[in-house]
Every structure is written in C-alpha cells, then in structure tokens.
Amino acid sequence: MGSERAETKTFHVPREAEGARLDRWLSAQLPELSRRRLQGLIREGHVRVDGKTVRKPGASLRAGSVVELALPPPERVELEPEPMSLEILYEDDDVVVVHKPAGLVVHPAAGHEHGTLVQGLLAGRRLAPAGGAKRPGVVHRLDKATSGALVLAKTDRAYYALVEQFKARRVKKIYLALVHGLVPEPQGEVEGAIGRDPRHRERMAIKPRSGKPALTRFRVRARLPEEGTTLLEIYPHTGRTHQIRVHLSAIGHPVVGDPVYGPRPPRAKRLMLHAWVLGFLHPRTGEWVEVTAPPPPEFRPYLERVEPAPLEPEPVRGHEGGPERATPARS
C-alpha cells in the first residue's frame, strides 16, 4: 500500500489583503475547511509564507506574499464494511442520519472491533475520512445502551462543518428519559462539571474543580405514581460523556435501566434513554434539518399517558431554538 503525499495549495496575497490575519484570509480561500481546522494546520507547521513556516494563526499578511498550505492526506479508512439492517432517517450526498438501536456500538474500539454502526453504514456508502481510521464520519456519539438519532458526515467538508456546530452548541437535541421517582417540578436544570471518576474509570462523576462544565435542562412529560417513575424531555446544552445519566442520578432521579448510575439490579432490560429529536444546519446549503427518531416500543406505553404539557423551558441560546434562531456555521 503506497503512502499518500500531502497536497500543497499555493496562494498569492493581493494588495487589498495587506495586514489580514493568516487564518481568516486562508479560510476565505478555502471555504471547504473550517477556520478551526486551518488554525490547527497552521500551528502544526503545515503553512509557509514566503518559504518560511508560520505557526501563528493571527500572523499579519503582506501584499505580494506567497502562502503555501500542505494539506496532510486523511488517515486511510480500512474498516471492513459489515452489512446490517439500519433505519435511515435522512440521507443526502453530505450527511446521513441513522436511528441507532440500543446495544449497538457506534465505532470500533477496544473490545468492539466488529459489528459497529460505522461498519454497517460503510456497506453501501462512503463516510468522511477526516473522522479518523476507526471513526470515519463520526461527529458525535451515543452510548451503546442509548437509542436514537445520530448524524454522520459523508464528506470532509460536512465533517468539519458539523464538528463546528456541535462545539458551538448550535445543534438541537431533545432526549426522552424514563427516570426513577416522581420529579416534583414541571421543569428544571442541572448544572455540574463532569469528569472521570478516579475510583471507577468506567464511570463519570460531578467534579466541580477538575471537570468540564455541563448543563442539562428538562421538563416533565408524564408522571406515573403507580410505578414511581417520571418521563422527561431532556435538553442537553453541552455534550459530555454520560452527561444526562450523571446529572439525573445526581438529583436523585437516575435513568431507569441504568446499570452504572442507577439502582442494582436495573428495573428494565435496557437503558430508558432515547435521542428523540436532532436538528442542525445543513453543512452545504445552510438550511435547517430536523429529524425525529420514533421512540422504541419500550417507551410507547409511557408516551400514551401524557399529562397536560407544562410550560416550555426557556430556550438555551444557540441550542433549543429552531432554524429562525440558528446561526450558520462556517464550513
């Protein structure tokens, strides 16, 4: 297998670009790459100005200078496609949104080298190499035990644009969660930094000093006194590992069926957490795309017993808003 060489792109700085920032000017010349991606390439030494390597994204340009960008080849994707039955919720030339079933791992990792969602999607389509050799197209993940809508990129341009949207919290995400106990308030929020539990490495925990900031908002959809559970709509403002599960457990309402953060043995055969609604700006057209993943059969008995809708939670800026409040991401 021959090694691929970096692709070099050369640009000449015009007079009107005198004094412009290197990263901003390059971003205008290469709209298929996000500014964050270009900043990383500059810092890694892939950009030369007049023959000299420049590692400062904010370096000022001079008219007449020659800028060279050496684009490293993407990591070769060598995963073997594994045909499987998958429910596709939305697909075009740039993205694919799949309804991930509970129990399916998103991409290969230690202990899960085969039978993953990515390998199933590769049987019939190309995914963006920019995600990495074992994570092509993956811009966000769902836990193995969580079901619901998951978007993957099919092109590198779509990959970087979607990554930017998730980092900037411009993506709309609504989950359904059946939790232990009767949640008294109609709506609320949990704010607590999340980090790795030092005593149990497979767990996450609230870590006020060392964790990453995390915010989860919720509203009650139905209370079920006879079985002591509550069905919640969840609005995660951030996307930390196990965030919803950790936050709900921290307020005394762990997700039903959670073997890690809930009571043992679990009261359900599966984790009762479902990624219900996913909305994002299309990475090429800028149009709003919103997809709903039908709740699995396990949720339907609870959805049929809905209380009068409580007050809508105040939208978290750049997240719960629909297309009219969304801001296009740079691509």
Strand partners, 275: 148, 175
Domain boundary among 163, 183, 217: 163
Whether the CB-CB separation of 266 and 256 falls below 8 Å is answered with yes
Whether residues 248 and 315 share a domain: the answer is: yes
Query: Alpha-carbon distance 161 to 76, whole Å?
Result: 21
In the residue annotation, 143 being an active-site residue is answered as yes
C-alpha to C-alpha distance for 262 and 254, rounded to whole angstroms: 5
Report pLDDT for 73.
Answer: 75
> Is residue 251 located within the same domain as residue 271?
yes
The answer to whether residues 155 and 250 belong to one domain is no
pTM to 2 decimals? 0.75
Residue 331: per-residue pLDDT: 27
| Residues 215 and 269 placed together within one structural domain of the fold | yes
Phi-psi group of 301: left, alpha or beta (phi > 0 → left; psi -120 to 50 → alpha; rest → beta): alpha
Does residue 230 lie in a domain region?
A: yes
CA 279-281-286 angle, to 5 degrees, is 155
Asked if 87 and 115 sit in the same domain, the reply is: yes
Distance in angstroms (rounded) separating the CA atoms of residues 46 and 209: 36
Let me know if residue 83 belongs to a domain.
yes
Provide the CATH number for the domain around residue 245: 3.30.2350.10
Give residue 8's region: left, alpha or beta (phi > 0; psi -120 to 50): beta
Of 117, 139, 163, at which residue does a domain stop?
A: 163
Q: Is residue 329 part of a domain?
A: no
- Give me the domain span that covers residue 194: 169-321
- The token duo for 135 is 């994570």
Reference 12, options 69, 59, 56; nearest CA is 69
Domain contains 327 = no
pLDDT by residue (tens digit) across 2-40?
Answer: 445 678 999 999 999 999 999 999 988 987 777 878 898
Where the chain has pLDDT below 70, the residues are 1-5, 74-77, 306-331
**Do residues 20 and 135 share a domain?**
no
Q: For the segment 44-65, what is each residue's pLDDT rounded down to a tens digit?
A: 999 999 999 999 999 999 999 9
188 and 286 together in one domain: yes
In a domain, 260, yes or no: yes
Report which DSSP code applies to 38: H
Residues 86 and 155 in one domain: yes
Q: Is 256 domain-assigned?
A: yes
Residue 328 belongs to a domain = no
Q: Which two tokens stand for residue 208?
A: 């006020």
- 179 and 48, same structural domain? no
Q: What's the CATH code of the domain at 18?
A: 3.10.290.10
Same structural domain for residues 184 and 273?
Answer: yes
**248 and 156: one domain?**
no
The structural domain count of the chain equals 3
| pLDDT at 43 (0 to 100) | 93
> What pLDDT, on a 0 to 100 scale, did the predictor assign at position 309?
53
Q: Residue 4: what pLDDT? A: 58
Can you give the pLDDT at residue 303?
86
Q: What is the pLDDT of residue 320?
A: 42
Catalytic residue among 50, 92, 94, 143: 143
Residues with Cβ < 8 Å from 134, sequence gap 6 or more?
Answer: 79, 107, 108, 109, 118
Q: How far is residue 181's CA from residue 88's CA, in Å, rounded to a whole number?
A: 34
Other C-beta atoms closer than 10 Å to the C-beta of 118 total 22
Residue 1 lies in a domain: no
Three-state SS string over 58-75 comes to CCECCCCCEEEEEECCCC
Q: Tell which of 140, 163, 186 closes a domain.
A: 163
Residues 66 and 79 in one domain: no
